[in-house]
A and B are shown apart, each in its own frame.
Chain A
Amino acid sequence: MNSRLDVVFWSYNEMDNFVATFRSIQQVVADIELKLSKFNPKAEVFQLNINQIGSHIEVSPLVWDNLYKCVEYNKKTMGLFDIAYGSSSKESYQLQERLHFDESNKIIGYKIAGTQLDFGGIGKGIALKEVANILDKDGVENAFVSFGGSSILTRGRHPHGDYWPLTLTDEDSQQDEVKLNHHAVSISGFHIRDGRKESHVVHPYSGEMRHRHQMVQVIGQCPVEAEVLSTSLMLAKEEEQQEILSRFEIEKIKMVPL
């Protein structure tokens, strides 16, 4: 995922085996990367992307379930969240128009030539959801998990407070502290490279990388939905924003205009 994973656990219980939990997290993240990568020839998504129209690929439950979810998110965001793109930016399809799900055989194929999938906008959310499952399974009560600072999952509280205190800052340094316990945070914005701002969210209809916001920060319960929203709201017009937000359950959102 080309991103750094930072994990902070704490506990008063000396029996907690955080090393084993962290190894499980590393393993699950590596597994997800191996399935969702569009660069690794062994990855299912890579194989889907090079597959011929009309033929199908057998995929793992993780890829199957998340592709199904992505179709749903594509609809709920009025097409703005789209993990697919075509060979031409002029063509525009809903995600469900591009994919064929063969339910009986659990195989997937592309219906539109040139279709390519890219889980970059949601992959960290999918991974954090799996991390959450590991934390629950291992009984970890207090954790702060960060994927590159832009995708965060919390459990429990800070050892010296009742919550994890997070300050979401923007370009103008207007600080806005949020109290996190059992939460997911997703932040989309410009990437800063060599001091320059670079857009990275592609509009599914125009093919342009034109943000409507400098930054969108979403706080909710589900890390996957937080990612979907922070990405799609970067592109949404004002009237679209209200409609999209009404379709998701979130706790807090901050949108910093350009």
Chain B
Amino acid sequence: MGESRRDFLRKIAIAGAGAAMVANPFGQAFAAGGNKKVRIAVIGTGGRGRLLLEHLLIIIKEGGNCEISAICDNYQPSLDMAVKLCVKYKSKVNTFSDYRKLLKDNVPDGVVIATPLHQHAHITIDSMNAGIHVLVEKSMARTLDDVKAMYDVHKQTGSVLMVGHQRLFSKRYLNAMDRIHKGELGEIGQVRAYWHRNKNWRRKVPKDKPELERQINWRLYKEYSAGLLTELMSHQLQVANWALEQVPVSVTGTGSIRYWNDGREVNDNIAAIFSYADGTQFIYDSMTSNKKYGCEEQIMGHKATMELETNKLILEKPPKPKPAPGIAQLISDIKKDTFQSIPVGGASWAPETALKYNGEPIYNSQKGDGTKEELLGFVDCIRQGKNIDWVTAEGYNTSIWSLLTEQAIDTGQKLTMPEKYII
């Protein structure tokens, strides 16, 4: 049922720098997809869930052969906002506050799970055991054992299991990875990434319901989340693994609550170093009290660097500047024994050309961050009953190593992956 990374990349038809790609790569990835209308339910309609829901509603509006069968949240204000969104897109929808009832009564073809992290595992496992395909937001689960259990149930049931690393579906990232894997950057020595924000990550709790603090601000409590590691770093660790076509062999890290000392339990700044078998290092940091450097992944080879978030390729040896058009013509004329005028001063004439090299774009035709393409891919996977195994493995390994990073920070130890989690 699976599909290899190479097959996927080949079918997705990435031709190289600046090459045009099809609007929906999965339209080509899965030929003759059939006409079945795919029924999708969204479980968890907080901020991320509503974003995913809106993407689905747009896909439907644009003629995507799917429908929203139901939405579910146990926090009524979030559910109400999601209903409003459906109304905006003229989509009738069933609502649930208990996902088990949704799975039993609505029986969708697939569920998109965007609940707090600690709820991912049991909802995912229950869904797959009910024969329902799953797109679960990253990271997969709060514990290593839950991540493994989700993967095992996916293998046992044959249900599609996709983890919400949307960069995997971004044409820019697909283009970049194809070029990286073909050696355009040379030997990669280091990958660096960071995600810096300057906000406290705390959401407003209704004054009359202080008991909702942990439910609403679940990202800040270790019972529910590993904070920056599972919510931000996991995206970029996945990119590093993807670029290197490896998983780490060890991780070490550190972290603290340095600035937002407001009762939260998760660190507000962290740093980690991942080592890979070939000697490559992935150096990562994240903080929430300074946003100057923003978010970036830097893939550094001996020939070039790619900065993926800002769409830049920077060659180690900048290309030699081409001569001005008139000079180029003069040189060509001399070589061809031709005697003709050298044009200067015309409309296309550029009198000043600075010798500054700021790199070049990797790929310019990607709109958005890949989330829409990810959802299109999920719908097509359901329609075909076909899992993309390496995409599942990317999500799995990233989740495992994100949680190992938490342990490394908490224990101060350099950790490797326990054998029982190796797939």
Interface residues of A (CB under 8 A from B): 2-4, 6, 8, 10, 144, 146, 148-150, 152, 158-161, 164-171, 173, 175, 177, 185, 187, 189, 191-192, 215, 217
Contacts and interface: CB of A to CB of B under 8 A. Distances in A.
A136 B327 CA distance: 22
A10 B334 CA distance: 9
B347 interface: yes
A166 to B, nearest CB: 5
B339 A160 contact: yes
A8 B331 CA distance: 8
A4 B321 contact: yes
A187 to B, nearest CB: 5
B349 interface: yes
Contact of B351 (A149, A166, A168): A149
Contacts of A159: 334
B334 to A, nearest CB: 6
Contact of A152 (B344, B350, B353): B344
B354 to A, nearest CB: 5
B338 to A, nearest CB: 7
A150 B333 CA distance: 21
Given A160-B333, A164-B342, A185-B344, 19 more contacts: A6-B324, A8-B327, A8-B331, A144-B327, A144-B342, A146-B327, A148-B351, A149-B344, A149-B349, A150-B351, A159-B334, A160-B334, A160-B338, A165-B340, A165-B341, A167-B341, A168-B345, A169-B345, A187-B345
9 contacts: A3-B354, A4-B321, A4-B324, A148-B324, A148-B352, A152-B344, A160-B339, A161-B339, A169-B344
A149 B339 contact: no
A192 B326 contact: no
Nearest to A187: B345
Interface of B: 321, 323-324, 326-327, 330-331, 333-334, 337-347, 349-355
Contacts of A160: 333-334, 337-339
B233 to A, nearest CB: 38
Nearest to A7: B327
Contacts of A167: 341-344
Nearest to B330: A8
Nearest to B333: A160
A215 B351 CA distance: 12
A191 B353 CA distance: 11
Given A4-B324, A8-B331, A160-B334, A148 B353 contact: yes
Contacts of B340: 165
Contacts of A215: 345
Most buried by B among A8, A169, A173: A169
B410 to A, nearest CB: 49
A168 B352 contact: no
B345 A170 contact: yes
A150 B353 CA distance: 11
A191 B351 CA distance: 7
A94 B362 CA distance: 52
A183 to B, nearest CB: 13
Contacts of A3: 351-354
A144 B324 CA distance: 13
B331 A173 contact: no
A258 to B, nearest CB: 15
B342 A165 contact: yes
Contact of A146 (B324, B333, B355): B324
Contacts of B341: 165-167, 175, 177
B352 A191 contact: yes
Contacts of A185: 344
A192 B350 contact: yes
A165 B343 CA distance: 9
Contact of A168 (B323, B339, B344): B344
Contacts of B343: 167, 169
A189 B351 contact: yes
Contact of A149 (B321, B326, B338): B326
A4 B330 CA distance: 16
Contacts of B347: 169, 171, 173, 192
A173 B346 contact: yes
A215 B345 CA distance: 8
B141 to A, nearest CB: 50
Nearest to A151: B351
Contact of A169 (B323, B337, B346, B354): B346
A136 B212 CA distance: 85
A215 B338 CA distance: 29
Contacts of A166: 341-342, 344
Given A160-B337, A173-B347, A2 B342 contact: no
Contacts of A170: 345-346
Q: Which of B321, B338, B349, B355 has the largest count of A CB atoms less than 10 A from its CB? A: B349
A149 B331 contact: no
A160 B342 CA distance: 13
A206 B154 CA distance: 77
A256 to B, nearest CB: 9
Nearest to B347: A171
B324 A217 contact: no
A108 B381 CA distance: 77
A144 B323 CA distance: 13
B344 A6 contact: no
Nearest to A161: B339
A2 B354 contact: yes
